[in-house]
Structure formats: structure tokens, C-alpha cells
């Protein structure tokens, strides 16, 4: 006795498998949005911290960063 593979059976199996994958593996777009949201939260925390610092502290930090960049530029050239 020959068994028939119906198109509806194939579609059902494919849909079931796909639904299982989506339940386990996040969609590509969801992963990107999650990373975006985490980066935004970190940026807001950083900006809140910077808002509390005095201008002089921010200037010293910026100068220190520039000095590091100058030294890196000397090493690479």
C-alpha cells in the first residue's frame, strides 16, 4: 500500500517546525532591537553621569583622551 504525501501535510510540518524555531531562536530584527535598546540605556546612564560632573573634570578627561590618541598616532606612524 502506497502512502501519499499530501501538500497539506508538508505545509503543516513546515509551519510547525518554523514556529518551533521562532520560539527558541529570536528573530533577527528582535536581536538587533535588543542590542539597540541596551546601547541606548547605557548611553543614557553615561549622559546622566556626565551631567553631574563639573566642566573642569570633563575637560581633564577630554585632554587625557586626546593625549592617548596622540600617542597611538605616533606609534602607528
For the record, the C-alpha cell of 32 comes out as 538587533
Among the ranges 9-13, 20-24, 44-48, 63-67, which has the highest mean pLDDT value? 63-67
| Average pLDDT over all residues of the chain | 76
pLDDT at 64: 93
**What secondary structure does DSSP assign to the chain, as a single string?**
-PPP--HHHHHHHHHHHHHHHHHHS--HHHHHHHHHHHHHHHHHHHHHHHHHS-HHHHHHHHHHHHHHHHHHHHHH-
The answer on pLDDT for 51 being more than 90 is: no
Amino acid at each position: 500500500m502506497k502512502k501519499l504525501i499530501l501538500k497539506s501535510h508538508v505545509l503543516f510540518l513546515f509551519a510547525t517546525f518554523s514556529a518551533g524555531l521562532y520560539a527558541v531562536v529570536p528573530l533577527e530584527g528582535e536581536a538587533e532591537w535588543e542590542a539597540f535598546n541596551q546601547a541606548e540605556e547605557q548611553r543614557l546612564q553615561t549622559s546622566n553621569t556626565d551631567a553631574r560632573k563639573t566642566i573642569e573634570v570633563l575637560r581633564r578627561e577630554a585632554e587625557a583622551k586626546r593625549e592617548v590618541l596622540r600617542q597611538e598616532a605616533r606609534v602607528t606612524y
